[in-house]
Amino acid sequence: MQVAEAVDQFVEAALTPDLWPEALDAIARALGAEGATLVLGRTSTASVAVSRSIAPIVEEYFRARSVPDPREQRVQPALTGGFVTDFDDFAPAEIAQDPYYQEFLRPHGFGFHAVSMLASVGDPLILSLKRPYRRGHYDGAELDGLGAALPHLRAAARVATLAWRARFDGQLETFARVGIGGALIDRHGRVVATNGAWPSGDGLDILGGEIVAGLGSDRAALNRLIGQALRGRGSAEGTPGDCVPVRRPSGRRPYVVDMLPLAQAHRSLLTPAVAIVLVRDPAMHPLPGEAALRTLFHLTPREAALALRLAAGTGVRDAAAGIGISEGHARQRLKSIFAKTETSRQAELVALLLRIR
């Protein structure tokens, strides 16, 4: 029963990442460990979830550790295999002499682990169970117990990934219905999926799995926008952000490209995507007039003018200059616009204005 409850908490945390510390504590208790980490790809502060029981040690691992961790390169569990232990990858004599084991782990009371791959979400997702040095390494019946729990953990990872994918599909479909192209991108900026409104060619392409603008200066601006979202910077969920115009060789009005960062998904570690790239063709979507916005949403004249400039693809700075206010004032006005239109960011505001006829 303890394992089943821990697996349920795992799924809940994958969908609500703030719950990861408690869920990993539950998994550690159920599987006879004193702590656990979940790591996606290369170990970094952005790619790891940690149980509360070992949070201070992991913080020191990233902040003040002075010796390299040999397990980073040598421990490579497979999705088709079970849990592996230290002695599967290191000889006892190596562990006895290794600085990481003897100078970092042992002074903290730890020395051994059991590691397994739970899923492949673009990168391998690795669960590591931590044991005190005094208890020795996992073996015998303990490993059999871990092996019995592993199929349930892997099934939970699949369920969580499918749940996230269903959310994304719904978001992409919503944007497609109002004629906005949408593309899911993963942690490396690769395209995972697109909706039916995604444009093909004319200055915006998907090459080698990445979104590429045709002109060099546009490409640099687009890359910066995507890079900010992948690093968790710029227009995070619920905050104002800038759009990027992408010019078209056909001579038509530029595409307007915006990012919808998915902060919860980024922290989940079990999602196929962490942001949505949105593309609008202004020629296909006439915007309402300022008078309509003032009447429908009780916007001030300046707020209506700002909203329409942003919806047309103008960045916040240029939009502010166009109506004679500072960029800081424009961002404050944008918060008021969001409140009055019951939206939370620029992409949602654009989608709303496009539905007004």
> What percent of the chain shows pLDDT beyond 90?
61
Please tell me the predicted confidence (pLDDT) of residue 236.
42
Distance in angstroms (rounded) separating the CA atoms of residues 93 and 107: 18
This prediction has a pTM of: 0.77
Distance in angstroms (rounded) separating the CA atoms of residues 124 and 185: 17
Please tell me the predicted confidence (pLDDT) of residue 242.
59
The band of 178, judged by pLDDT with boundaries at 50, 70 and 90, is confident
Single-letter code of the amino acid located at 170: G
Per-residue pLDDT of 199-228, as tens digits, reads 988 999 999 999 999 888 889 889 988 888
Please tell me the predicted confidence (pLDDT) of residue 328.
92
Please tell me the predicted confidence (pLDDT) of residue 125.
95
The band of 177, judged by pLDDT with boundaries at 50, 70 and 90, is confident
Distance in angstroms (rounded) separating the CA atoms of residues 148 and 3: 10
Query: What number is the average pLDDT over the span 266-271?
Result: 90
- Contacting residues for 96 by C-beta, under 8 A, at least 6 apart: 102
- Contacting residues for 216 by C-beta, under 8 A, at least 6 apart: none
In this predicted structure, which of 18-27, 184-193, 249-258 has the lowest mean pLDDT?
249-258
Please tell me the predicted confidence (pLDDT) of residue 147.
93
Per-residue pLDDT at 24 exceeds 50: yes
CATH 3.30.450.80 assigned to 2-163: yes
Query: What number is the average pLDDT over the span 33-50?
Result: 92
Contact 129, 143 (CB under 8 A): no
What are the distances in angstroms from CA 217 to CA 29, 203, 221, 222? 54, 12, 6, 9
Structure tokens at 268: 């989940």
Please tell me the predicted confidence (pLDDT) of residue 232.
61
* Measured CA angle at 318 (ends 314, 321), to 5 deg: 135
Please tell me the predicted confidence (pLDDT) of residue 5.
94
Structure tokens at 8: 């349920």
Per-residue pLDDT of 289-320, as tens digits, reads 899 899 999 999 999 999 998 877 777 888 89
Please tell me the predicted confidence (pLDDT) of residue 283.
73
Q: Where are the beta strands (DSSP E) in the chain?
A: 35-40, 48-50, 84-85, 110-121, 123-132, 181-185, 191-194, 204-207, 210-213, 244-246, 255-261, 275-280
What are the distances in angstroms from CA 353 to CA 160, 177, 211, 244, 290? 34, 14, 26, 18, 11
For the chain, give the mean pLDDT: 88
Structure tokens at 206: 């998907």
Query: What number is the average pLDDT over the span 318-328?
Result: 91
Per-residue pLDDT at 160 exceeds 60: yes
Please tell me the predicted confidence (pLDDT) of residue 238.
36
The band of 357, judged by pLDDT with boundaries at 50, 70 and 90, is low
Domain ranges of the chain: 2-163, 164-354
Write down the number of H helices and E strands in the chain. 15, 12
Distance in angstroms (rounded) separating the CA atoms of residues 104 and 287: 61
Per-residue pLDDT at 339 exceeds 90: yes
Per-residue pLDDT of 221-251, as tens digits, reads 899 888 888 876 544 443 334 578 888 888 8
